[in-house]
């Protein structure tokens, strides 16, 4: 095994730098300074992507150039009782029992570990390797804006190693494409009536990455709230509803305030027992509460009914499983965020599919529902699927190295999540790509964890792989 201390050193360093999606200037500048201090050819583009080059070891000058690639931003989620300020506070790393996690926040191993591994490799002269290029992109988590803005003319790599997978037992060679749909209901208000007012809150859910975790069929807090409201729709008028934080995170908390024309305590208690029983295995931390409150005004009854109906009927979760790859989700959507937005109730969906026509059909289904219920809708932030290249020489070399190093065959994986490889293929059509990485768990949630030994394992693989590309 090679010395991986530098990997954890750099992971610790970048964890001190704010790097939520959209707030990446400081981490981008850090990467640029890293390159300049060591005499590397380094460039920062307008999207804050960072390109860096390192010359080949003696004897490797004629080997194919290899790109090490990851993204600098992270999903910023924290627990309800956390006072963490992602704009200035460092991520507090906690090491215990071979696991690294944070203190009530996301860890940022997605994709900070790729940045740390690339920096550790570039900062060492002990390894044998071809000409190297580092590409660290921005804003991957909020639409892959960095990857969209990449200038392929700045890169020469024949092979690209995307270090953004979350299982160490194989390589990802294909991923889903996707799109975000935004639905807007225009706010319409009535003065508050004399009916009793309530707040329903759902929290305690596992949440997680909407691509990687959707197959686990965890509870969606927004859908749980909507389900109860729909069951008593004729008796209530909504005043506010909110839930979720990120388009690619399954909502783990939501709430709604409303007035009711009669006491709904018995209906709520029945629903609470039913829903907690349904998720007693899949999401046993589910908490649901109903409390009396005060409300100054409500939405109109018409808007309340349309909004509740939409959220209750809107699809969420697995739409279809792959017929070609066992255990792979083919098509899904995540009803991810409900929030106020400039006089509208804004509802965000993240749709994923490895089949373009299936994705379009799911888009149309949500569009049809929105139009029936008099809402505006738009699709944006689309990204293409990454198709499997069976005859890839890079994959062949990678499989051999993996077997030689670990004495077992790697699994060849496709994932139901977006990787930047799909977009990067547009800029680098002749570049072969694979994705790998250490074991990460519950990414995009405050329970995010990374296995230390798995990091060691995959950095060792990276060193051996580059040495064998001649």
Q: Quote the longest CA-to-CA distance of the chain.
A: 83
Q: Could you tell me if 245 and 77 are in contact, meaning their C-beta atoms sit under 8 angstroms apart?
A: yes
Active site residues: 73, 140
Q: Could you tell me if 305 and 209 are in contact, meaning their C-beta atoms sit under 8 angstroms apart?
A: no
Strand-pairing partners, residue 298, are 190
User: Which residues have CB under 8 Å from 320's CB, separation 6+?
Assistant: 329, 330, 331, 358
Cα separation, 169 vs 299, whole angstroms: 52
* Distance of alpha carbon 188 from the chain centroid: 33
CB environment 166-179: b (16+ within 10 A), e (fewer): bbbebbbbbbbbbb
Helices (H), 15-70: 25-37
The residue assigned the tokens 């965000």 is 348
Q: Could you tell me if 242 and 251 are in contact, meaning their C-beta atoms sit under 8 angstroms apart?
A: no
Task: Give the number of residues written for the chain.
Answer: 470
Instruction: Dump strand ranges (E) for 194-253.
Output: 196-203, 236-243
């Amino acid at each position: 095994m090679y010395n991986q201390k530098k990997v954890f050193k750099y992971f610790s360093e970048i964890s001190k730098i704010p790097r939520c999606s959209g707030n990446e200037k400081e981490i981008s500048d850090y990467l640029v300074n890293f390159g300049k201090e060591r005499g590397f050819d380094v460039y920062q583009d307008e999207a804050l992507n960072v390109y860096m080059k390192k010359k080949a070891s003696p004897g490797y000058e004629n080997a194919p150039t290899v790109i090490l690639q990851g993204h600098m931003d992270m999903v910023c989620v924290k627990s309800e009782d956390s006072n963490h300020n992602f704009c200035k506070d460092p991520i507090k790393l906690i090491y215990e029992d071979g696991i690294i996690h944070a203190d009530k926040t996301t860890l940022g191993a997605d994709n900070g570990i790729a940045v740390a591994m690339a920096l550790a490799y570039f900062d060492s002269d002990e390894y044998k390797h071809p000409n190297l290029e580092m590409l660290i992109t921005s804003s991957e988590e909020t639409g892959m804006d960095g990857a969209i803005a990449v200038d392929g003319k700045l890169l020469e790599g024949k092979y690209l190693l995307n270090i953004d997978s979350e299982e160490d037992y194989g390589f990802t060679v294909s991923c889903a494409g996707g799109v975000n749909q935004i639905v807007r209901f225009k706010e319409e208000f009535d003065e508050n009536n004399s009916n009793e007012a309530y707040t329903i809150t759902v929290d305690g859910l596992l949440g997680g990455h909407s691509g990687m975790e959707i197959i686990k069929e965890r509870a969606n807090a927004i859908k749980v709230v909507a389900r109860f409201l729909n069951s008593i729709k004729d008796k209530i008028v909504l005043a506010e509803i909110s839930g979720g934080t990120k388009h690619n995170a399954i909502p783990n908390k939501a709430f709604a305030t409303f007035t009711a024309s009669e006491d709904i305590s018995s209906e709520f208690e029945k629903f609470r027992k039913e829903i907690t029983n349904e998720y007693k295995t899949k999401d046993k931390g589910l908490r649901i509460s109903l409390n009396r409150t005060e409300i100054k005004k409500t939405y109109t009854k018409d808007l309340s009914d349309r909004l509740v109906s939409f959220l209750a009927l809107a699809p969420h979760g697995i739409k279809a499983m792959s017929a070609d790859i066992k255990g792979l989700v083919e098509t899904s959507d995540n009803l991810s965020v409900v929030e106020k937005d400039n006089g509208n109730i804004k509802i965000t969906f993240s749709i994923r599919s490895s089949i373009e026509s299936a994705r379009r059909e799911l888009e149309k289904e949500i569009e049809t529902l929105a139009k029936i219920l008099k809402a505006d809708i738009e699709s944006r932030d689309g990204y293409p699927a990454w198709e499997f290249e069976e005859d890839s020489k890079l994959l062949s070399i990678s499989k051999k190295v993996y077997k030689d190093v670990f004495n077992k065959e790697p699994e060849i994986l496709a994932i139901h999540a977006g990787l930047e490889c799909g977009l990067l293929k547009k800029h680098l059509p002749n570049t072969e790509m694979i994705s790998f990485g250490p074991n990460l768990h519950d990414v995009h949630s405050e329970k995010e964890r990374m296995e230390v030994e798995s990091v060691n394992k995959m950095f060792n693989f990276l060193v051996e792989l580059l040495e064998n590309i001649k």
